[in-house]
Amino acid sequence: RETQNGIFIPESFSFPSRILHLTLVEASQAPVFENNLISNDPAYWKEVAELRNYAARAQQTLEEQQNRPFSPLGLTLYLSNRCNLSCVYCFAESGEEQPQRLVPTVALAAAKIVAENCLIEKYPLTVAFTGGGEPTLEQPILDTLLDGLEQLTTEYGLALFRYISTNGVMEEARARWLAQRFDLISLSCDGPPPVQAVQRPLRNGCDSSPKMERTAQIVRESGKTLHVRVTVTRQTLFLLPAISRYLCCQIEPKEINVEPVYRGGRATGVLEPEMAGDFVEAFLEARKIARDYGVRLLMSGSRPGEIHGPYCQVLRDVLHLLPGGEATACFKTAHTTRHGQNDFLIGQFEKNDGVFNIDQPKVRMLRQTLQNTIPQCSSCFNLYHCARGCPDFCVLEENIPEKSFRCLVQQMLISVQLQEIANTIKEDAFRLSGVTGKEVGRW
């Protein structure tokens, strides 16, 4: 069906083979293309062979990565479960558990493992402070960790990249400290004050917008990179274009990450499959508005330029610590006291030895399970560029519905991106008998 933007969105589709290359054929050249399919043209078959080899190498690389020992190159830290907001959809249900804080000694022991891997691979040490609660409430712990990380990277001769995800609700002095100590700051903001006040209120029920907007201004003035994370609910689905305009005008980020509300936690009224088409239309309109302001607006569930699967940390080479000091394979794990969340624990700090140990057999078991492609995904053209139901559904826990909201949205968005590639393909792609093509995996 055709949207208001003139973009065709298929209601439902899948291909029997996995497409890693896009071919655009002009109507006048269709007979030539069809003849080439059964011709003995050496040039044609040379191109086909190269594309098949590229696809085979990519798949082999993916399998090798998943079969080697877990060697994390990034560190994610959930500092505590304390929060100064009462977001209506919080998956971690922050503030409802007994306060728990990450011990710096444990985090730095984990950082040493990651630093050793980064040294081998010649990567910078990337540390993300996010999730589970509001990290800036733990400023003393953050200062201790940041100082320790700077010392560690100096010893190893590594660059240090510091990322933090925050709600931005803080006093001016702390906002200036934030801008000084981090390289990339991501603010969580769901839209203009009427939206923010409902979805992300202060714990006393008041609007969190004024302090969040002030923090954004301070970060911008500091010259540090500012991103925004937007959570879309049923109530804000059709407001997404207006939300995009507000963020571009008022918050002025470099990038806007749009994410449909997660199932679980406090979330009610999540987005259902029949809403997928409306979401995609709203998303595309919001993206167009953002582009007019020079801002990138995206959704991470399907990335055509990257071979990926679920967000599971054991597939992403990320060591992820909870406030209690345990390592988890799942970013939605916030409390080890919750039912079933211990199943994702893959490491812990050994006090006697002073080292952090990763349970490699547990990691292998999780990876093997995750590698089993669910039947409804096996023939999908987007198999290697999709989060496959994550984080709403997990193949480790339950059966994934055949056509979930995220599945439909990601198929629709990837098809739009393929059309956009097709629209520009003549400018930079090779030509063969009037037919042009481009490797989607490198887009």
| CATH at residue 220 | 3.20.20.70
pTM of the model: 0.85
Bridge pairing between strands 184-188 and 21-25: unpaired
Which residue is it, tokens 């054929």? 25
Does residue 396 form part of some domain?
no
Q: Is residue 350 part of a domain?
A: yes
Q: Which residues, 6+ apart, have CB-to-CB distance to 163 below 8 Å?
A: 126, 127, 128, 129, 130, 182, 183, 184, 185, 186
At 102 the three-state DSSP class reads: coil
Tokens of 176: 């200036």
The CA-based diameter of the chain, rounded to the nearest angstrom, is 74
With left for phi above 0 and alpha for psi between -120 and 50, is residue 93 left, alpha or beta? Answer: left
Residue 24's DSSP bridge partners are 436
Q: Let me know if residue 420 belongs to a domain.
A: no
How far apart are alpha carbons 149 and 160 in whole angstroms?
A: 8
CA 415 from centre of chain: 19
What's the number of domains the chain is made of? 1
DSSP letters of 260-308? EPPSSTT--S---GGGHHHHHHHHHHHHHHHHHTT-EEE-TT--TTS-B
- Helices 104-121 and 139-156 pack at an angle, to 10 degrees, of 30
The SS3 assignment for 216 reads: helix
Residue type at position 237: L
Is position 60 within any domain? no
- CB-facing half-sphere around the CA of 92: CA atoms within 13 A: 27
Please tell me the distance from the alpha carbon of residue 159 to that of residue 283, in angstroms, as a whole number. 36
Query: Which residue(s) pair with 165 in the sheet?
Result: 186
Range of the domain at 127: 71-359
CA distance 219 to 407: 35
Q: Are 79 and 129 in contact (CB under 8 A)?
A: yes
Residue 87's SS3 state is: coil
Is residue 430 situated within a structural domain? no
pLDDT tens for the chain, 443 residues long, are 444 444 444 444 333 333 344 555 555 555 665 555 555 667 767 777 777 787 778 778 777 877 889 999 999 999 999 999 999 999 877 666 678 899 999 999 999 999 999 999 999 999 999 988 999 999 999 999 999 999 999 999 999 999 999 999 999 999 999 999 999 999 999 999 999 999 999 999 999 999 999 999 999 999 999 999 999 999 999 999 999 999 999 999 999 999 999 988 887 778 999 999 999 999 999 999 999 999 999 998 888 777 888 889 998 899 999 999 999 999 888 776 554 556 889 999 999 889 999 999 999 999 988 877 777 787 787 888 888 888 888 877 767 788 899 999 999 998 888 778 766 655 554 444 444 455 444 32
Residue 129: strand pairing partners: 77, 164
Q: Is residue 57 part of a domain?
A: no
Inside any domain, residue 27:
no
Residues 286 and 241: beta-carbon distance below 8 Å: yes
- With a CB cutoff of 8 Å and minimum separation 6, the contacts of 330 are 312, 313, 341, 344, 394
Conformational region of residue 74, where left means phi above 0, alpha means psi within -120 to 50, and beta covers everything else: beta
Strand partners, 74: 126, 318
pLDDT at site 55: 74
Peptide bond into 391 cis (omega under 30): yes
Half-sphere exposure of 106 (CA within 13 A, CB side): 23
Look at residue 109 and tell me if it is in a domain: yes
What span, in angstroms and rounded, lies between the C-alpha atoms of 55 and 423?
A: 23
